[in-house]
Structure 1
Amino acid sequence: MMTVILTCLATYFLHMVCSVSGSICKCLVICEVTWPIIAEKHCNGTQQSPINIVTANVKANANLTSFTYVGYNDSTALTVIKNTGTSIQVTLDPKKMRVAGGNLPGRFASTEFHLHWGNGSAMPGSEHTVNGKRFPMELHIVNKPVSNTSDSLAVLGVFIEASNETGKPESWKTLTSYLTRIVKAGDKASLFRNFSMDDLLSGVDRTKYYRYLGSLTTPNCNEGVIWTVFKDPIRVSRDLIDLFSTTVYINNSSNSPLMTNIFRSVQPVNGRIVMSQVAGTKTPGLLNPTSIAANLSPSLMYPILSLTFLYCVLAFL
């Protein structure tokens, strides 16, 4: 009985304290142990994302051709930037931005992109990892099918690596300049045709990527998502990366915590095949991490939930 009460209390308070949206706990990464309770139908699935991509296990697939992009060079297609309380999201005009090819089942409309990060450039927070390496940030472009031939979402994931320059690239300097306008959850601002999606993806070879079937990385964690994770990262200077974890907050109260560690831990692969144009080669000495939540036994889960609850409450005192 006590364990049931503890679980309910921890889930409720974490749910209320750590999340402005009421649908996801983002105060700490370990809060994700509550996700199967919040979204039981999907977050307990066997094809969850993100995953650790082990290059030695990647299989070659000749069908993974180049993509065709429409409107990715159009600066008017990026319309609004918003603090959602769980991320920073940019709305895209789906009538202007399309993607096809790459063995996707038809044409897809790009609807938004959002970002995941840890706590500054020194504490990485990408969702996917490669051979155990976590990058400082990760960008996700969400795409919906144009026709009714497919009901799958297609997400393009791009790693963000830190560079030692200052204020570079210019497109990211412009993007981060909007953060002071969306400090609190729910804040949003119009974008003024300053940069395009191509500008933000500068330096990324979009012909080289990994492909696997997974899920959304936030509740309800719906599966059936076609994941494309590009091998090349965007290089963004450390000072700009640090702005994300030092400028925006997870709710609109006066004592709101900063928005940090907004990523989900890697999930079990469960026999899924990760594909690419060329099979990977083994990189020795690197870790193959698995999900913290997936490996927690019930006897450990409840104490961690209660400790997390106390941490979150103390953060507000």
Structure 2
Amino acid sequence: MNFLGTLLTLCVLVPSAHFADSSIAWCYNLPTCNDTTWPTIATVSCNGSRQSPINIAPGSVQTDPNLNAFTLNNFDSPIAMDTIANTGKTVQINLVRGLSISGGGLSENYDTLQLHLHWGRGASVPGSEHTLNGRRYPMELHIVNSKASYNRNTTLAVADSTGLAALGFLIEEMEGNTTGQPASWQTLSSYLARIPNGGDSVLVTAGVSLNDLLPGVDTTRYYRYLGSLTTPTCDEAVVWTVFKDTIKVSRDVIDRFSSMLHIDNSTSPLMVNTYRNLQPALRVTTQVNSSASKACFSLGLMVLSVLLGRP
């Protein structure tokens, strides 16, 4: 192969939700109802073929030129959060109307409904749902969205194979001996003392936006796959986006989630290890590396100019 053919070949090779069903008695902490039993107690989907979460192996990911940048509408609003609740399974924050996402290779706009978290047992015992190259992170944040055409009707959304879009953010411990950082997460975790028991809920005071919870995350860099809800009934209706950049949070803030919240009341167990175990691998894609593609294109033009004798 000549030099130009080799160059062009190289350029081609360069990479250019949580809706719990209250009618089903499921749990994380008991062998009678933990995730090993979900395929038998929620048989419609929990034993399906596109279940979440999964391990993402970056070396096996394929590129998809349709995965463009997201537009996160009103994610900078300081009044986006409505209530924060201890559901007995997680901490969930319900959002006001008017937030939405578009782009990101999605087929239409999606209304942003709520966010919730998954964790292990403090920073030392990780509890993210998705893993990267087999690594489990201390926590994971999910922002759940449904197709705008369904007008927030989640019954319709879960009946559609792409009715929901979940944004997943892996959370890891911040380096150094910092405490109470970042400030947005310090504020968020301050509400935990007010919702210690399952069923507790309080209003969120204005001041923290969704963007404030995502410091250091480049939302143009992500992995994509078609999967499911990670809680019963495990509906296979989710377009999953897992971002490559992690959210870095100080150890003391991470530890609060597994030390301050009870499944039921103050005499019931603490809420720990609130994640589903990994499911069989699925096809994962990522966005084209535009900078690498542009570099190859420019280099190709330069070589062509030289070969054709043009300045």
Structure 2 Cα separation of the partners of residues 38 and 28 of structure 1: 14
| Residues 1-317 of structure 1 aligned to structure 2 (within 5 Å) | 23-27=25-29, 31-93=34-96, 95-148=97-150, 152-163=163-174, 164-252=177-265, 254-269=266-281, 272-278=282-288
CA deviation map 1:18-46 (0-9, x unaligned): x9985321115892111112101110001
Deviation for aligned residue 1:162: 0.5
Corresponding pairs, count: 257
Q: After TM superposition, where is structure 1 displaced by more than 2 Å over at least 4 residues in a row?
A: 19-23, 28-31, 148-151
1:245 maps to amino acid: S
Task: Specify the SS of the correspondent of 1:243.
Answer: helix
Calculate the aligned-residue CA RMSD, in Å.
Answer: 1.9
Query: Cα gap change, 1:150/1:75 in structure 2, threshold over 3 Å: closer, same or farther?
Result: farther
Query: Cα gap change, 1:21/1:239 in structure 2, threshold over 3 Å: closer, same or farther?
Result: farther
Deviation for aligned residue 1:234: 0.5
Q: Is the 8 A contact 2:54 2:130 kept in 1?
A: yes
Q: Is the 8 A contact 1:83 1:187 kept in 2?
A: yes
Task: Specify the SS of the correspondent of 2:106.
Answer: coil
Deviation for aligned residue 1:92: 0.9
Structure 2 Cα separation of the partners of residues 67 and 86 of structure 1: 29
User: What residue in structure 1 maps to residue 296 of structure 2?
Assistant: none
Unaligned runs of 5+ in 2: 1-20, 151-159, 290-311
1:265 maps to amino acid: N
Structure 2 Cα separation of the partners of residues 22 and 177 of structure 1: 31
Structure 1 or 2: larger helix share? 1
Deviation for aligned residue 1:273: 1.6
2:66 maps to amino acid: N
CA deviation map 1:53-77 (0-9, x unaligned): 0111100111100001111001111
CA deviation map 1:139-197 (0-9, x unaligned): 00000111159861000000001014211000000000000000000000100102000
Deviation for aligned residue 1:133: 0.4
1:59 maps to amino acid: Q
Structure 2 Cα separation of the partners of residues 88 and 20 of structure 1: 16
Deviation for aligned residue 1:208: 0.1
Q: Is the 8 A contact 2:75 2:99 kept in 1?
A: yes
1:189 maps to amino acid: V
Unaligned runs of 5+ in 1: 1-18, 280-317
Larger radius of gyration: 2
2:173 maps to amino acid: A
Structure 1 Cα separation of the partners of residues 190 and 118 of structure 2: 18
Q: Is the 8 A contact 2:69 2:220 kept in 1?
A: yes
Normalised by the length of structure 1, the TM-score is 0.78
Normalised by the length of structure 2, the TM-score is 0.79
User: What residue in structure 1 maps to residue 297 of structure 2?
Assistant: none
Structure 1 Cα separation of the partners of residues 187 and 139 of structure 2: 17
Structure 1 Cα separation of the partners of residues 230 and 83 of structure 2: 22
Structure 1 Cα separation of the partners of residues 145 and 224 of structure 2: 15
Q: Is the 8 A contact 1:20 1:250 kept in 2?
A: no
Percent of aligned pairs with the same amino acid: 50
CA deviation map 1:94-149 (0-9, x unaligned): x3211000110100010000000000000000000000000000000000111159
Task: Specify the SS of the correspondent of 2:37.
Answer: helix
Q: Is the 8 A contact 1:20 1:251 kept in 2?
A: no
Deviation for aligned residue 1:278: 4.4
